[in-house]
Amino acid sequence: MPDKVYIKNKPATFEYAIEDRLTAGIMLTGSEIKSVRNGKVSFNDSYCFFHDGELWIKSLHIAEYVNAGYAGHDPVRERKLLLTKKELAKWAYKMKEKGLTIIPLSMYINDNGYAKVELGLGRGKKLHDKRESIKSRDAEREMKRYLK
């Protein structure tokens, strides 16, 4: 088992322009946390939404733990995110702005052994913005090559 678990949502920064970031706890069952520690998490099409004043994450796939037996879990169930009331109110207000969405950027296990999710408040990029991102990434790569 790896010592440090850090799972990144790579397409998120390509698809969205991230305006704000926040770290939140996530409520997991026993078999889910074991799968996270094994790195069996997929962020495909996952997003966050507000329901009854709480923030939930949807479509986050955490693979079933092999040795869970009868106490397994549903891999794509909705999971509650743990934030303070102040943070929830701030982000709920920002979500009212048109075109913004909350997306998970990464998941990791902190020093205390708790699973944390880094969230980003993002605005969807247009096609020309994506092309610009590709150009800047390629230019940065070329600069690093010449500096070596």
Main-chain phi, psi angles of 110, to 5 degrees: -80, 180
Element (H, E) at 102: strand 100-109
Q: What is the mean pLDDT of the chain?
A: 90
Domain range annotation of the chain: 6-147
Residue by residue, what is the 3-state secondary structure of 75-97?
Answer: CCCCEEEECCHHHHHHHHHHHCC
pTM, to two decimals: 0.82
pLDDT, residue 1, reads 43
Is pLDDT at 44 greater than 80 in this prediction? yes
Please state which of the four CATH numbers 3.40.50.720, 2.40.30.170, 3.40.605.10, 2.40.280.10 is assigned to the domain occupying 6-147.
2.40.280.10
Q: Rounded mean pLDDT of 39-47?
A: 91
- In tens, the pLDDT along 94-116 reads 988 888 999 999 999 999 989 99
Give the contacts of 146 (CB within 8 A, at least 6 positions apart).
Answer: none
